[in-house]
Amino acid sequence: MKVGDQYFRTIWLKAGDECFVQLIDQRFLPHHFVIENVSTVEQMVTAIREMHVRGAGLIGASAGYGMYLAALQAADTAATTGDFDRDLAEAAAQLKAARPTAVNLSWAVECQLKSIAAGKTPREKVALALHTARLIADEDAEHCRMIGQHGLDLIQRIARKKAGKRVNVLTHCNAGWLAFVDYGSATAPIYAAHDSGLPVHVWVAETRPRNQGSKLTAWELGEHGVPHTVIADSAGGHLMQHGEVDLVIVGTDRTTYTGDVANKIGTYLKALAAKDNNVPFYVALPSSSFDWKMEDGLKEIPIEERGTEEVKHADGWLEGRQVEVRITPERSPAANYGFDVTPRHLVTGLITERGVCEANEKSIFSLFPEHAP
Protein backbone atom coordinates (compact mmCIF):
# COMPACT_ATOMS: atom_id res chain seq x y z
CA MET A 1 0.00 0.00 0.00
CA LYS A 2 1.08 3.55 -0.68
CA VAL A 3 2.32 5.72 2.18
CA GLY A 4 3.30 9.15 0.93
CA ASP A 5 4.95 8.32 -2.37
CA GLN A 6 6.35 4.93 -1.33
CA TYR A 7 4.80 1.46 -1.43
CA PHE A 8 4.97 -0.79 1.62
CA ARG A 9 3.91 -4.33 2.44
CA THR A 10 2.58 -4.79 5.95
CA ILE A 11 5.45 -7.14 6.88
CA TRP A 12 8.49 -8.08 4.80
CA LEU A 13 12.06 -9.38 4.84
CA LYS A 14 14.81 -6.77 4.82
CA ALA A 15 16.21 -6.33 1.32
CA GLY A 16 19.70 -7.85 1.17
CA ASP A 17 19.57 -9.36 4.68
CA GLU A 18 17.04 -12.13 5.20
CA CYS A 19 17.93 -12.45 8.91
CA PHE A 20 15.77 -9.38 9.56
CA VAL A 21 12.01 -9.07 9.36
CA GLN A 22 10.70 -5.53 8.98
CA LEU A 23 7.33 -4.33 10.12
CA ILE A 24 5.46 -1.10 10.73
CA ASP A 25 5.39 -0.35 14.46
CA GLN A 26 1.72 0.60 14.76
CA ARG A 27 2.02 2.10 18.24
CA PHE A 28 3.16 5.38 16.74
CA LEU A 29 0.54 5.77 14.00
CA PRO A 30 -1.00 8.02 12.80
CA HIS A 31 1.57 10.52 14.02
CA HIS A 32 4.81 8.83 13.20
CA PHE A 33 5.70 6.15 10.64
CA VAL A 34 8.22 3.84 12.30
CA ILE A 35 9.71 0.67 10.79
CA GLU A 36 10.96 -1.90 13.28
CA ASN A 37 13.68 -4.47 12.55
CA VAL A 38 13.01 -7.82 14.20
CA SER A 39 15.76 -10.44 14.27
CA THR A 40 14.78 -12.87 17.06
CA VAL A 41 11.67 -14.82 17.94
CA GLU A 42 11.68 -13.14 21.36
CA GLN A 43 11.44 -9.73 19.68
CA MET A 44 8.58 -11.02 17.53
CA VAL A 45 6.73 -12.30 20.61
CA THR A 46 7.09 -8.83 22.16
CA ALA A 47 5.93 -7.16 18.94
CA ILE A 48 2.76 -9.30 18.96
CA ARG A 49 2.07 -9.08 22.72
CA GLU A 50 2.69 -5.33 22.97
CA MET A 51 0.75 -4.68 19.76
CA HIS A 52 3.50 -3.22 17.59
CA VAL A 53 1.70 -5.50 15.15
CA ARG A 54 -1.95 -6.39 15.59
CA GLY A 55 -5.01 -7.62 13.72
CA ALA A 56 -5.75 -11.27 13.03
CA GLY A 57 -4.10 -11.70 9.63
CA LEU A 58 -0.98 -9.73 10.51
CA ILE A 59 -0.61 -11.58 13.81
CA GLY A 60 -0.66 -14.81 11.76
CA ALA A 61 1.88 -13.51 9.24
CA SER A 62 4.09 -12.22 12.08
CA ALA A 63 3.94 -15.61 13.78
CA GLY A 64 4.92 -17.22 10.47
CA TYR A 65 8.00 -15.00 10.23
CA GLY A 66 8.61 -15.48 13.97
CA MET A 67 8.87 -19.23 13.39
CA TYR A 68 11.33 -18.58 10.56
CA LEU A 69 13.50 -16.48 12.93
CA ALA A 70 13.19 -19.25 15.53
CA ALA A 71 14.39 -21.79 12.94
CA LEU A 72 17.41 -19.59 12.12
CA GLN A 73 18.25 -19.35 15.84
CA ALA A 74 17.71 -23.08 16.42
CA ALA A 75 19.95 -23.95 13.45
CA ASP A 76 22.67 -21.76 14.94
CA THR A 77 22.58 -23.43 18.34
CA ALA A 78 22.03 -26.92 16.88
CA ALA A 79 25.46 -26.53 15.26
CA THR A 80 27.00 -26.55 18.76
CA THR A 81 25.01 -27.85 21.69
CA GLY A 82 21.34 -27.25 21.00
CA ASP A 83 18.45 -29.44 19.99
CA PHE A 84 16.70 -27.94 16.95
CA ASP A 85 13.30 -29.54 17.50
CA ARG A 86 13.18 -28.69 21.21
CA ASP A 87 14.16 -25.07 20.59
CA LEU A 88 11.56 -24.77 17.85
CA ALA A 89 8.82 -26.27 20.02
CA GLU A 90 9.66 -23.76 22.78
CA ALA A 91 9.48 -20.86 20.32
CA ALA A 92 6.14 -22.14 19.00
CA ALA A 93 4.71 -22.22 22.54
CA GLN A 94 5.94 -18.68 23.26
CA LEU A 95 4.42 -17.34 20.05
CA LYS A 96 1.08 -19.08 20.65
CA ALA A 97 0.86 -17.60 24.14
CA ALA A 98 1.49 -14.01 22.96
CA ARG A 99 -2.21 -13.19 22.43
CA PRO A 100 -5.22 -15.47 22.94
CA THR A 101 -8.11 -14.42 20.72
CA ALA A 102 -6.96 -14.30 17.08
CA VAL A 103 -6.97 -17.88 15.80
CA ASN A 104 -4.59 -16.95 12.97
CA LEU A 105 -1.76 -17.04 15.51
CA SER A 106 -1.99 -20.74 16.35
CA TRP A 107 -2.99 -21.54 12.77
CA ALA A 108 0.24 -20.00 11.41
CA VAL A 109 2.42 -21.65 14.06
CA GLU A 110 0.86 -25.06 13.30
CA CYS A 111 1.38 -24.53 9.54
CA GLN A 112 5.04 -23.83 10.22
CA LEU A 113 5.54 -26.82 12.55
CA LYS A 114 4.03 -29.14 9.94
CA SER A 115 6.08 -27.75 7.10
CA ILE A 116 9.40 -27.58 9.01
CA ALA A 117 8.99 -31.20 10.16
CA ALA A 118 9.49 -32.32 6.54
CA GLY A 119 13.10 -31.02 6.56
CA LYS A 120 15.88 -33.50 7.33
CA THR A 121 18.68 -31.12 8.29
CA PRO A 122 18.59 -27.76 10.12
CA ARG A 123 19.50 -26.08 6.82
CA GLU A 124 16.53 -27.70 5.05
CA LYS A 125 14.26 -26.80 7.94
CA VAL A 126 15.26 -23.12 7.78
CA ALA A 127 14.60 -23.09 4.02
CA LEU A 128 11.14 -24.60 4.59
CA ALA A 129 10.39 -22.11 7.36
CA LEU A 130 11.29 -19.20 5.09
CA HIS A 131 9.17 -20.59 2.25
CA THR A 132 6.17 -21.10 4.56
CA ALA A 133 6.48 -17.64 6.17
CA ARG A 134 6.34 -16.07 2.71
CA LEU A 135 3.46 -18.33 1.73
CA ILE A 136 1.38 -17.38 4.80
CA ALA A 137 1.86 -13.66 4.10
CA ASP A 138 1.22 -13.96 0.36
CA GLU A 139 -1.85 -16.12 0.88
CA ASP A 140 -3.26 -13.63 3.39
CA ALA A 141 -2.82 -10.85 0.82
CA GLU A 142 -4.43 -12.85 -1.99
CA HIS A 143 -7.36 -13.94 0.18
CA CYS A 144 -8.03 -10.37 1.23
CA ARG A 145 -7.84 -9.23 -2.40
CA MET A 146 -10.53 -11.82 -3.24
CA ILE A 147 -12.63 -10.68 -0.26
CA GLY A 148 -12.45 -7.24 -1.83
CA GLN A 149 -13.88 -8.52 -5.10
CA HIS A 150 -16.77 -10.41 -3.43
CA GLY A 151 -17.54 -7.49 -1.13
CA LEU A 152 -17.47 -5.12 -4.08
CA ASP A 153 -20.54 -6.89 -5.52
CA LEU A 154 -22.47 -6.05 -2.34
CA ILE A 155 -21.48 -2.39 -2.47
CA GLN A 156 -22.28 -2.17 -6.19
CA ARG A 157 -25.79 -3.51 -5.57
CA ILE A 158 -26.41 -0.88 -2.90
CA ALA A 159 -24.92 1.83 -5.12
CA ARG A 160 -27.31 0.89 -7.94
CA LYS A 161 -30.29 1.18 -5.58
CA LYS A 162 -29.09 4.57 -4.35
CA ALA A 163 -28.68 5.82 -7.93
CA GLY A 164 -25.38 7.61 -7.56
CA LYS A 165 -25.78 8.83 -3.96
CA ARG A 166 -22.87 7.96 -1.67
CA VAL A 167 -22.82 4.51 -0.04
CA ASN A 168 -22.16 4.76 3.70
CA VAL A 169 -20.25 1.88 5.26
CA LEU A 170 -19.72 1.68 9.00
CA THR A 171 -16.69 -0.18 10.32
CA HIS A 172 -15.23 -0.87 13.73
CA CYS A 173 -11.62 -1.22 14.88
CA ASN A 174 -9.01 -1.69 12.18
CA ALA A 175 -9.42 -4.59 9.81
CA GLY A 176 -7.47 -2.83 7.09
CA TRP A 177 -4.10 -3.40 5.42
CA LEU A 178 -2.35 -2.71 8.73
CA ALA A 179 -4.22 -5.62 10.31
CA PHE A 180 -3.69 -8.07 7.45
CA VAL A 181 -1.17 -8.19 4.65
CA ASP A 182 -1.66 -5.51 2.02
CA TYR A 183 -5.45 -5.20 1.58
CA GLY A 184 -7.29 -5.75 4.84
CA SER A 185 -10.43 -7.80 5.28
CA ALA A 186 -13.23 -5.31 6.07
CA THR A 187 -11.53 -2.54 4.09
CA ALA A 188 -10.81 -4.62 0.97
CA PRO A 189 -14.35 -4.16 -0.46
CA ILE A 190 -14.16 -0.45 0.43
CA TYR A 191 -10.84 0.02 -1.38
CA ALA A 192 -12.16 -1.97 -4.36
CA ALA A 193 -15.32 0.18 -4.49
CA HIS A 194 -13.39 3.43 -4.18
CA ASP A 195 -10.84 2.37 -6.81
CA SER A 196 -13.64 1.46 -9.21
CA GLY A 197 -15.10 4.95 -8.92
CA LEU A 198 -18.07 4.25 -6.64
CA PRO A 199 -18.95 7.07 -4.22
CA VAL A 200 -18.20 5.28 -0.96
CA HIS A 201 -17.90 6.95 2.44
CA VAL A 202 -16.84 5.26 5.69
CA TRP A 203 -18.01 5.93 9.24
CA VAL A 204 -14.96 5.02 11.31
CA ALA A 205 -15.80 4.09 14.90
CA GLU A 206 -12.95 5.26 17.13
CA THR A 207 -12.73 1.91 19.02
CA ARG A 208 -11.79 2.71 22.57
CA PRO A 209 -9.63 1.98 24.46
CA ARG A 210 -6.76 1.74 21.95
CA ASN A 211 -8.51 3.66 19.20
CA GLN A 212 -7.58 1.41 16.30
CA GLY A 213 -10.41 3.06 14.34
CA SER A 214 -9.52 6.72 14.82
CA LYS A 215 -5.79 6.10 14.71
CA LEU A 216 -5.28 3.34 12.16
CA THR A 217 -8.37 2.96 9.97
CA ALA A 218 -8.70 6.72 9.57
CA TRP A 219 -5.00 6.98 8.67
CA GLU A 220 -5.20 4.14 6.13
CA LEU A 221 -8.33 5.50 4.46
CA GLY A 222 -6.83 8.99 4.38
CA GLU A 223 -3.63 7.74 2.74
CA HIS A 224 -5.75 6.00 0.11
CA GLY A 225 -8.00 9.01 -0.44
CA VAL A 226 -11.21 7.30 0.73
CA PRO A 227 -13.78 9.78 2.16
CA HIS A 228 -14.38 8.97 5.83
CA THR A 229 -15.60 10.46 9.10
CA VAL A 230 -14.43 9.42 12.57
CA ILE A 231 -17.26 8.94 15.08
CA ALA A 232 -17.45 8.09 18.75
CA ASP A 233 -18.09 4.40 19.30
CA SER A 234 -21.55 5.11 20.66
CA ALA A 235 -22.68 7.10 17.59
CA GLY A 236 -23.27 4.09 15.32
CA GLY A 237 -26.81 3.36 16.51
CA HIS A 238 -27.90 6.97 16.08
CA LEU A 239 -26.59 7.06 12.50
CA MET A 240 -28.41 3.82 11.68
CA GLN A 241 -31.69 5.13 13.08
CA HIS A 242 -31.40 8.10 10.71
CA GLY A 243 -30.67 6.08 7.56
CA GLU A 244 -27.03 7.14 7.45
CA VAL A 245 -25.57 3.63 7.31
CA ASP A 246 -26.14 1.38 4.27
CA LEU A 247 -24.10 -1.52 5.54
CA VAL A 248 -21.71 -2.50 8.30
CA ILE A 249 -18.54 -4.42 7.47
CA VAL A 250 -16.27 -5.55 10.29
CA GLY A 251 -13.38 -7.98 10.58
CA THR A 252 -13.00 -10.88 12.98
CA ASP A 253 -10.29 -12.42 15.09
CA ARG A 254 -11.97 -15.83 15.25
CA THR A 255 -15.21 -17.13 13.80
CA THR A 256 -16.57 -20.54 14.74
CA TYR A 257 -17.56 -23.03 12.03
CA THR A 258 -21.13 -22.30 13.13
CA GLY A 259 -20.81 -18.56 12.39
CA ASP A 260 -20.31 -16.91 15.81
CA VAL A 261 -17.94 -13.95 15.41
CA ALA A 262 -15.33 -12.73 17.88
CA ASN A 263 -14.16 -9.22 17.08
CA LYS A 264 -12.95 -6.08 18.85
CA ILE A 265 -15.02 -5.09 21.87
CA GLY A 266 -18.06 -3.07 20.80
CA THR A 267 -18.81 -5.08 17.66
CA TYR A 268 -21.74 -6.85 19.31
CA LEU A 269 -23.47 -3.56 20.16
CA LYS A 270 -23.15 -2.45 16.54
CA ALA A 271 -24.63 -5.74 15.37
CA LEU A 272 -27.59 -5.27 17.74
CA ALA A 273 -28.19 -1.76 16.44
CA ALA A 274 -27.89 -2.99 12.84
CA LYS A 275 -30.49 -5.72 13.47
CA ASP A 276 -32.91 -3.23 15.03
CA ASN A 277 -32.57 -0.91 12.03
CA ASN A 278 -32.49 -3.50 9.22
CA VAL A 279 -28.97 -2.54 8.26
CA PRO A 280 -27.00 -5.45 6.71
CA PHE A 281 -24.16 -6.54 8.99
CA TYR A 282 -21.30 -8.32 7.21
CA VAL A 283 -18.12 -9.87 8.55
CA ALA A 284 -15.13 -10.12 6.22
CA LEU A 285 -12.61 -12.87 6.89
CA PRO A 286 -10.00 -15.03 5.21
CA SER A 287 -10.46 -18.75 5.92
CA SER A 288 -7.47 -18.62 8.31
CA SER A 289 -9.76 -16.80 10.78
CA PHE A 290 -12.25 -19.68 11.00
CA ASP A 291 -11.89 -21.93 14.00
CA TRP A 292 -12.86 -25.30 12.55
CA LYS A 293 -13.00 -26.90 16.01
CA MET A 294 -15.13 -24.43 17.92
CA GLU A 295 -18.89 -24.69 17.90
CA ASP A 296 -20.15 -22.18 20.47
CA GLY A 297 -18.43 -18.80 20.26
CA LEU A 298 -19.86 -17.38 23.47
CA LYS A 299 -18.81 -20.33 25.58
CA GLU A 300 -15.56 -21.27 23.91
CA ILE A 301 -13.70 -18.31 22.37
CA PRO A 302 -11.05 -17.00 24.78
CA ILE A 303 -11.50 -13.26 25.30
CA GLU A 304 -8.31 -11.35 25.95
CA GLU A 305 -8.28 -9.11 29.02
CA ARG A 306 -5.65 -6.43 28.73
CA GLY A 307 -4.07 -4.02 31.23
CA THR A 308 -6.43 -1.51 32.82
CA GLU A 309 -4.07 1.39 32.04
CA GLU A 310 -5.37 1.22 28.45
CA VAL A 311 -8.82 2.23 29.74
CA LYS A 312 -7.63 4.71 32.34
CA HIS A 313 -5.30 6.55 29.97
CA ALA A 314 -5.38 7.97 26.47
CA ASP A 315 -2.48 9.04 24.31
CA GLY A 316 -2.06 11.57 21.55
CA TRP A 317 0.32 13.93 19.82
CA LEU A 318 1.41 17.13 21.51
CA GLU A 319 4.02 19.52 20.21
CA GLY A 320 5.92 16.91 18.24
CA ARG A 321 5.77 14.01 20.67
CA GLN A 322 3.44 11.28 21.80
CA VAL A 323 2.05 11.94 25.29
CA GLU A 324 -0.19 9.94 27.57
CA VAL A 325 -2.72 11.37 30.01
CA ARG A 326 -4.95 9.80 32.65
CA ILE A 327 -8.68 10.28 31.98
CA THR A 328 -10.23 8.57 35.01
CA PRO A 329 -10.00 9.28 38.73
CA GLU A 330 -6.71 7.86 39.88
CA ARG A 331 -8.23 5.31 42.21
CA SER A 332 -11.20 4.13 40.12
CA PRO A 333 -10.79 0.50 39.15
CA ALA A 334 -11.13 -0.33 35.46
CA ALA A 335 -11.62 -3.46 33.35
CA ASN A 336 -10.38 -4.00 29.82
CA TYR A 337 -12.08 -6.72 27.77
CA GLY A 338 -10.48 -6.78 24.35
CA PHE A 339 -13.14 -8.61 22.33
CA ASP A 340 -16.78 -9.66 22.27
CA VAL A 341 -18.75 -12.33 20.47
CA THR A 342 -21.52 -11.50 18.03
CA PRO A 343 -23.86 -14.48 17.78
CA ARG A 344 -24.53 -15.82 14.28
CA HIS A 345 -28.19 -14.73 14.19
CA LEU A 346 -27.09 -11.09 14.11
CA VAL A 347 -24.77 -11.60 11.12
CA THR A 348 -26.19 -11.07 7.61
CA GLY A 349 -23.27 -12.77 5.87
CA LEU A 350 -19.60 -13.68 5.86
CA ILE A 351 -17.41 -12.35 3.05
CA THR A 352 -14.61 -14.86 2.43
CA GLU A 353 -12.05 -15.42 -0.31
CA ARG A 354 -14.39 -18.00 -1.85
CA GLY A 355 -17.50 -15.83 -1.83
CA VAL A 356 -20.24 -14.71 0.54
CA CYS A 357 -22.03 -17.23 2.75
CA GLU A 358 -24.50 -17.16 5.61
CA ALA A 359 -23.27 -17.36 9.17
CA ASN A 360 -24.27 -20.96 9.76
CA GLU A 361 -22.60 -24.34 9.62
CA LYS A 362 -24.30 -25.53 6.42
CA SER A 363 -23.50 -22.43 4.40
CA ILE A 364 -19.91 -22.16 5.72
CA PHE A 365 -19.18 -25.82 4.91
CA SER A 366 -20.70 -25.44 1.46
CA LEU A 367 -17.91 -22.93 0.69
CA PHE A 368 -15.23 -24.89 2.58
CA PRO A 369 -16.23 -28.57 2.16
CA GLU A 370 -12.72 -29.79 3.00
CA HIS A 371 -13.37 -28.76 6.64
CA ALA A 372 -16.78 -30.45 6.92
CA PRO A 373 -16.93 -33.33 9.43
Residue 62 binding ligand MRU, by CB under 6 A: no
Taking the least distance from each CB to ligand MRU, the nearer of 122 and 209 is 209
Mark 3-42 with x for binding to ligand MRU (rule: CB under 6 A) and - for no binding: ----------------------------------------
Mark 170-189 with x for binding to ligand MRU (rule: CB under 6 A) and - for no binding: ---xxx---x----------
Q: What are phi and psi of 82, to 5 degrees?
A: -75, 175
How far apart CA 192 and CA 88 sit, in angstroms, is 40
Does residue 265 sit in helix, strand or coil?
Answer: coil
* 253 given a catalytic annotation: yes
Taking the least distance from each CB to ligand MRU, the nearer of 122 and 259 is 259
Which residue lies nearest ligand MRU, judged by its C-beta?
251
Site for ligand MRU in 207-236 (CB under 6 A): 212
Residues 162 and 127 sit within 8 Å (Cβ to Cβ) = no
Q: What are phi and psi of 324, to 5 degrees?
A: -120, 140
Residue 54 binding ligand MRU, by CB under 6 A: yes
Residue 56 binding ligand MRU, by CB under 6 A: yes
- Alpha helices (H) along 118-213: 122-161, 187-195
Which bin fits 191, alpha (ψ -120 to 50), beta or left (φ > 0)?
Answer: alpha
Order of strands across the sheet that contains 11-13: 11-13, 21-24, 35-38
Residue 252 binding ligand MRU, by CB under 6 A: yes
How far apart CA 151 and CA 143 sit, in angstroms, is 12
From 24, 52, 55, 189, residue interacting with ligand MRU (rule: CB under 6 A): 55
Nearest partner of 326 among 338, 311, 344, 312, judged by Cα: 312
Site for ligand MRU in 84-113 (CB under 6 A): none
Catalytic residue among 182, 253, 260, 291: 253
Mark 260-299 with x for binding to ligand MRU (rule: CB under 6 A) and - for no binding: ---xx-----------------------------------
How far apart CA 276 and CA 55 sit, in angstroms, is 28
Catalytic residue positions, numbered: 253
Residues that bind ligand MRU (CB under 6 A): 54-56, 173-175, 179, 212, 250-253, 263-264, 338
